[in-house]
Chain A
């Protein structure tokens, strides 16, 4: 997709983007609040002055009517704005009339394009809200960025610039960096590498997504997370299932693998639950995803389609050992699946799917033929675990099997996981304080926390570092937190 293609899409809301420049939503919100507070006061005045002629009563009536009209106009404009703002936001549960995330261009990008003159791609990016947010998170102030724009540089003509699909804020930022050599040199002079810029862009994009998620309270994703009545009024018998499997215990907090948990929850919550293959380099990561999902279910925060369910992890080795006679493996597996289906409240997880394939072969069972009806069943949710090496060896080369599964590759790099955790925690801190963390500060905390080899301990360490840092930052009245602040205050 070229810049001129995006421009065409932006053209349909050029009036709206102009409104946002002239009368930003912050000002509109304040105006609405003022009207909302002043109108009842005027109504009270009306009540008191009805019999007296101090203020013309007609003027007060007119004020009430004009005030209500003004409030409604701002409300209508806000609705118009938010309809476009939320377009393309991630929705787990499909809503009628809402386009999928991949089919639309995020509003932030349309805003950048609205700011961009065809003669200067970079200026539009730097002057836009998203561009300014990204640069601020990289500790480049708006004044410094403006000085760069006004300095000597070779401008990039925007129209022919090509952007990869799907167009996200990270992709847009990366393209601007790659195509404008002066801009990349400017960032390099501030010790900002390409990866840092892309990392920051995806962080800012995730922040926007979270805000959209929070504000869109009327969406099915938000409404569906309200704890429902009667989800646990019926429990079926599970003694047999528990002989060959374990119910996953909820784990406190689901930040560590939030992205994967979200993805798994969304896949399982579809109308016809899609079997999901989870692939990671270590088993504890896979279990972490399931524990996080289980925690959401326990807290009543899971989406309605799975809110009443429990996750049972089958122990293939135990089934394999119990099946001593010919055909017993198939019998056991059939009984397990039948009970899970009858219950209608169980998500079946394989702790080692390649082991199931190997055991099936050993017991003379055609694994694909056996499992296919269960994979196709809309009433049964199946999650299969596979370590990445075993996935490559046993599953990747089986297209007939693979076509049944949605695949989720769990983030393998501990450093990336840790950064993600910190970004998540910082979002909550920033909402409650006046602090603004830069990407470099987050990285500095992550580096300090990563002395331990275990990612769970690293997360704890990062939390401790953040809570140590926080009062010190507030005491020093620091607003923008940099890597230097982290070094100074934690040493």
Chain B
């Protein structure tokens, strides 16, 4: 007998908690894209040298920088900035795409019961009309 409660329970959930969950899933993907492209870190380290290795650091720490090393480091910084900037721009574009996909997902979810009804109605029309 409890199964009859399923329909009102479902519709109550579909248009309340589920909408919130859909929004939650969309924000999760947005959050993931933001972090996948390491956007906060790349922004903070935009002009940091490119992948300084531990061994190099030790040399820098013990020997004074020569002209060559300064030029090398500057070029590494420029190279790093270009790569990071490119990644950031790509990341922002992806974030916008994911955001739009989230809106589409929300609209589809909202209309889903109507889509099901339309499919059933269409099927009946094919059979009987």
Contacts and interface: CB of A to CB of B under 8 A. Distances in A.
A80 B21 CA distance: 11
A226 B36 contact: yes
A77 interface: yes
A65 B126 contact: yes
Q: Which of B14, B36, B48, B112 has the most CB of A within 10 A?
A: B36
Contact of A19 (B3, B38, B49): B3
A344 B44 contact: yes
Q: Which of A61, A63, A304 has the most CB of B within 10 A?
A: A304
Shortest 10 CB-CB distances between A and B: which pairs?
A: A15-B6, A15-B5, A239-B61, A65-B123, A234-B45, A18-B2, A304-B35, A69-B119, A234-B48, A223-B32
Given A15-B5, A233-B83, A237-B60, A76 B14 contact: yes
B50 A79 contact: no
Contacts of B41: 230-231, 234, 308
Contacts of A97: 20-21, 23-24
A95 B126 contact: no
A344 B48 CA distance: 12
A65 B10 contact: no
B17 interface: yes
B24 A95 contact: yes
Given A72-B116, A223-B28, A230 B38 contact: yes
Q: Which of B3, B48, B61 has the most CB of A within 10 A?
A: B3
B31 interface: yes
B17 A83 contact: yes
B5 A18 contact: yes
Nearest to B113: A76
Given A72-B112, A76-B10, A80-B10, A233 B51 contact: yes
B71 interface: no
A220 interface: yes
A13 interface: yes
B123 A233 contact: no
A76 B10 CA distance: 9
Contacts of B2: 14-15, 17-18
Given A18-B6, A22-B3, A83-B13, A239 B57 contact: yes
A236 B126 CA distance: 69
Given A65-B126, A97-B23, A97-B24, A80 B54 contact: no
A95 B28 contact: yes
